[in-house]
Amino acid sequence: MSFAVAGWAGEQQAPLDAVNATIRRDGFSPLPSVRRMAGLDVQAVYSRTRAGVSLGAGRATTKDPREGRELVSWLSTVGIQAGVDVLRYRTLSVFVSAGIVAGRLSLESSDARLLLLDGRTHDKAAFGFSALPLEIGTEQLIPVGKASHDEAWVLIFGVRGGWVQQLSGGWDELDATAGDLDLSGLRGRLVLGFGAASL
């Protein structure tokens, strides 16, 4: 049995072709299709089964080079995941996991002239979505002290990668002509955490 809190940093694909086509018409440079993300995981492992909660967020900006206007975009997610260890050797584990995520992509302009996908002008907009993350990962536990007679304090180093499949999504307060985004894509994460584990 183990319990840990871990921070993570990585990158996630976020295809924004439709958004970029629109903001280009309004003078902005395109937003990146790969978003740098960071977040926090809380997880418990019992025998070979693991479960946890994951939070993440990533920020990107772009500007109108002619007028200096700025467009800020946030991608935020919260979800639950469960998995199973498929290989374990001493303090090294290899696992697969899946879950469900609720997310939000927001866009906010420094003025009220952001032309969004429904053909009207807005200074902000948001796209809410749900997604299925599928990951394979490896995790190394490094004992750093005794927590109890059968548990040790541990540092956790891990690498995780996989695919995030969008299940549904829609723009807030925009009409149907806005169209939907598909934010499905690859995701990779480096994880560093601290917890207690039975070794």
Domain locations in the chain as residue ranges: 2-197
Q: How far is CA 156 from CA 47, 54, 172, 192, 195, in A?
A: 17, 16, 39, 6, 8
Fold assignment, 2-197:
Porin (2.40.160)
Q: What is the pLDDT of residue 78?
A: 98
pLDDT at 122 (0 to 100): 66
Q: pTM of this prediction?
A: 0.86
pLDDT at residue number 176? 46
Q: What average pLDDT values come out for the chain (199 residues) when binned by 10 residues? A: 94 89 81 95 94 97 83 95 96 97 90 61 83 97 89 96 94 61 95 93
What local confidence, expressed as pLDDT, does residue 181 receive? 84
For residues 74 and 37, the answer to whether their CB atoms sit within 8 Å is no
